[in-house]
Amino acid sequence: MTAEKFTGLVVILALASLPALAQENVFLHPDKFYKKYFPHMRIKRDPPDSLFIKRYPNYLSVGSYIVTPSVYINLISRQTTESIKFRTNIDDVIGFHVSYRYVSAGFAFLSQPLMLKRPGYGPTSYHTATINYNGTLYSFQFKYLKLLGMTDINTPAYPDRYTKRSDLSLKEYHFVGLYNISWRKYSYHAPLDFSERQVKSRGGFLVKTGVHYSEFLGDSSMVSPGKAIDFENINDIRGIRRFSIQAAPGIGGTHVIKRKYYVAAALFFSNDLYFYRYINRDGTATGRRQRYVVGFDGYASAGFQSKRFYTGIKYEVNGSQAMLRDVQLNSFFTYTGITFGYRFDTPEVIRKFYRKTMPPGM
């Protein structure tokens, strides 16, 4: 047999075997994957007290929300105490979320602002996406955030105008776990993603842990020309990369009126171990340093929930103060928004897809 014929035979046999290989590849079939590698795995549910929390496992919750995010980032020189104040300029953003059983997801984006609310500010684009596993005792969230374009509002060289930094971007990745000590009677998620409903007033203690990665980066130095003297130690720095490990105890509660109206709030005091690097003008990174950072985050909301329809207004806040090398980094995020949603009977195609992709019993 010639080399050409042998090669052709190998190719034919390989192509013929592809369907068989695809059928045997259990990674393409989650239900077969769990059956093969975790044959005895089955998630057992211990439901919460139905007198306090109402779940809707057979409904598909679909909602939209309008939110106004604001980001405040201050760089304060530890030598001169002078500051650089970066601000965003974001219109009201329309987002969407969907929830079925124990999984929910949402996204929002604003590529180009429709109008600039603050005269003199440059535009800011905004993208965010979240996916949640809403367990009773434990829950998890992954969040992605990207901002592009900020404005330096404190430039002494130009007292009559701001410095627009369209090159400045902020990217963040968060993976957070929540432990709800009072999960049987208190729902932390009910006023947030409406995956369940609090029908009787209750509060409880919470513990949040997580890992976070962020990158605040520009094409040139983060220090505006008018501030070069006050920030001479970081004039060659065009960005900061941070990785942090968080532990945050907290407390929350929901007051229910006539089983359908609610007022809720939660507050966490975070303790973060920061690992950070400065990014130089040439793209190289400085040596890694670490800092212990304290902060806080929480929310307050009010609204209405029934079996099908729900709506609510919400205010979220997140802040921290980090004493880095030669500079103090203060970050403050706020989100103000309103949500409308409805619970539909879940189509069979979604139920079937969920059963085939989720672990048994979820």
Both tokens of 333, joined, read 């995020």
- Highest mean pLDDT among 11-15, 136-140, 229-233, 264-268 belongs to 264-268
User: Which residue, 333, 298, 119, 304, is CA-closest to 214?
Assistant: 333
User: In the predicted model, is pLDDT for residue 69 greater than 70?
Assistant: yes
More confident residue, 41 or 152: 152
Percent of the chain at pLDDT exceeding 90:
53
Question: Of the spans 52-56, 68-72, 110-114, 140-144, which averages the highest pLDDT?
Answer: 140-144
Work out the average pLDDT over 71-100.
89
pLDDT for 18 equals 42
Q: What is the rounded CA–CA span in Å between residue 266 and residue 99?
A: 22
Contacts of 205 (CB under 8 A, 6+ apart): 181, 182, 249, 250, 251
Cα(340)–Cα(342) distance, integer angstroms: 7
- Cα 272 to Cα 74, 294, 317, distances in angstroms: 19, 6, 17
End-to-end CA distance of the chain: 56
Q: Which one-letter DSSP state was computed for residue 283?
A: S
Q: What is the C-alpha separation between 280 and 109, in angstroms, rounded?
A: 30
Cα 201 to Cα 262: distance, rounded to the nearest angstrom: 8
Is residue 292's pLDDT more than 60? Answer: yes
Q: Per-residue pLDDT for 353 more than 90? A: no
Given this structure, which CATH class describes domain 52-357? Answer: mainly beta
The pLDDT score that the predictor gives to residue 16 is: 43
- The reported pLDDT for the residue numbered 28 is 62
Query: What is the model's pLDDT at position 155?
Result: 61
Q: pLDDT tens across 100-146, in order?
A: 988 999 999 876 655 556 777 888 889 999 999 988 889 999 999 99
187 has pLDDT over 90? yes
Q: Enter the pTM of the model.
A: 0.84
Secondary structure percentages of the chain, helix, strand, coil, to 5: 15, 55, 30
Domain boundaries, the chain: 1-41, 52-357
Of 114, 73, 120, 72, nearest to 94 (Cα)? Answer: 114
Contact 131, 105 (CB under 8 A): yes
At 291, the amino acid letter reads: R
pLDDT digits (tens, 9 = 90+) for 255-288: 999 999 999 999 999 999 999 999 998 888 988 9
pLDDT value, residue 111: 65
pLDDT band for 21, please (50, 70, 90 cuts): very low
Dihedral sign from CA coordinates of 243, 249, 251, 252: positive
Distance separating alpha carbons of residues 118 and 302, to the nearest angstrom: 28
